[in-house]
Amino acid sequence: MQQLAGPLTYQDWDLDKAREAVLEYAGRTGGVMIALHRIQEIFGYIDDSAMPMLGKVFNLSRAEVHGIASFYHDFKREKPGRYTVKVCQAEACQAMGSEKLTEEIKAFLGADFHETSADGNFTLEPVYCLGNCACSPNIMIDTQTYGRVSIDGFKSLASTLAKAVNEQEAK
């Protein structure tokens, strides 16, 4: 259970870089959505200062951009931890004990939903179905789904991933 190689590396916020990255989506169907995804992919979140910039690029008011970014659960407005852990809260996972698992993960990380563990490694989020409902309970770390997760499995995974952070930072 350790398919992830290590943390995604997010760059520090840089408005010019963000603008440059999204210019090509102007005029595309749903371009602003693509842009929000892209910015989050690079920086891990969407800084407030991106709102007027996106407004200009996509011909929207700043309030409209804000409205879009805040409507969708995915878009983060603050820098997350090194890994984002999503724990499935939907019915099939409930049937396999996700409620208990969630409580145990929260206790282990010392973080509630939408919070980050004190070491800055794990941001915890709820998710409603990962489409792996025959192998519940499920979690997703960054882009990797893990099935039939137990708290012990989670703890060993978390320690492996934390180690990968240390190794990366030692370099």
DSSP reduced 3-state for 41:
helix
Q: Binding of other proteins at residue 106 (CB under 8 A)? A: no
Of the pair 53, 124, the CB lying nearest ligand FES is at 124
Candidates 138, 38, 9; CA nearest to 86 is 138
We find the least distance from the C-beta atom of residue 119 to other proteins, in angstroms, to be: 25
**Residue 122 near which of other proteins, ligand FES, none (CB within 5-8 Å, type-dependent):** none
Return d(Cα 67, Cα 135) in angstroms, integer.
36
Of the pair 56, 110, the CB lying nearest other proteins is at 56
Name residue 144's beta-bridge partners. Answer: 141
Structure tokens at 92: 């099939």
Give the residue ranges of DSSP H helices in the chain: 15-22, 31-43, 50-58, 62-71, 91-94, 98-109, 151-170
Q: What x-and-dash track marks residues 40-79 binding other proteins by CB under 8 A?
A: ------------------x--------xx--xxxxx----
Contact positions toward other proteins, by CB under 8 A? 1-3, 29-34, 36-37, 58, 67-68, 71-75, 90-96, 127-136, 138, 140, 143-148
